[in-house]
């Protein structure tokens, strides 16, 4: 039920993001979802891609610091209150969100939220017990 995400350390200087996307594009890797967390000195680019291993290898070859993290993808009805319902059940079980980002599925019916929790397994159980659709990694990579 977990999704593999790659994270890349980026110094806060011009052209770094362009370089990463260029490398991925040339290798035929498709970015499914992304988020960029930034501070004044550095940023962390988080990516869900169609080929995690290949992306990791090629970025390492190019000298980037890359790590793999397990995150959870949850389908949320694309309507007011959709996200709130999820966060309420998590909060009730005292599960902390480290970070999250969202994208809308191509067919447009649902949004997908990517979560990083402090307790991943507990979060999955809570979400499933409350009938939320936790997506398989494979489905996300090939979306």
Q: Which residues bind other proteins (CB under 8 A)?
A: 5, 7, 9-11, 16, 37, 39, 41-42, 44, 46, 63-67, 69, 98-99, 116
Torsion, CA 136, CA 126, CA 101, CA 52, rounded to 10: -30
CB of residue 67 to other proteins, shortest distance in Å: 5
Residue placing its CB nearer to other proteins in the complex, 67 or 88: 67
CB of residue 116 to other proteins, shortest distance in Å: 8
CB of residue 59 to other proteins, shortest distance in Å: 11
Residue placing its CB nearer to other proteins in the complex, 68 or 139: 68
């Amino acid at each position: 039920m977990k999704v593999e995400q790659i994270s890349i350390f980026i110094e806060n200087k011009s052209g770094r993001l362009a370089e990463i996307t260029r490398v991925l594009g040339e290798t035929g890797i498709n970015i499914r979802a992304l988020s960029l967390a930034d501070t004044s000195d550095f940023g962390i680019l988080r990516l869900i891609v169609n080929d995690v291993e290949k992306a990791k290898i090629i970025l390492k070859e190019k000298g980037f610091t890359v790590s793999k993290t397990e995150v959870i993808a949850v389908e949320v009805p694309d309507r007011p209150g959709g996200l709130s319902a999820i966060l309420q059940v998590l909060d009730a079980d005292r599960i902390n969100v480290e970070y999250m980002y969202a994208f809308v599925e191509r067919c447009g019916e649902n949004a997908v939220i990517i979560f990083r929790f402090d307790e991943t397994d507990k979060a999955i159980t809570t979400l499933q017990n409350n009938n939320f659709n936790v997506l398989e990694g494979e489905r996300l990579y090939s979306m």
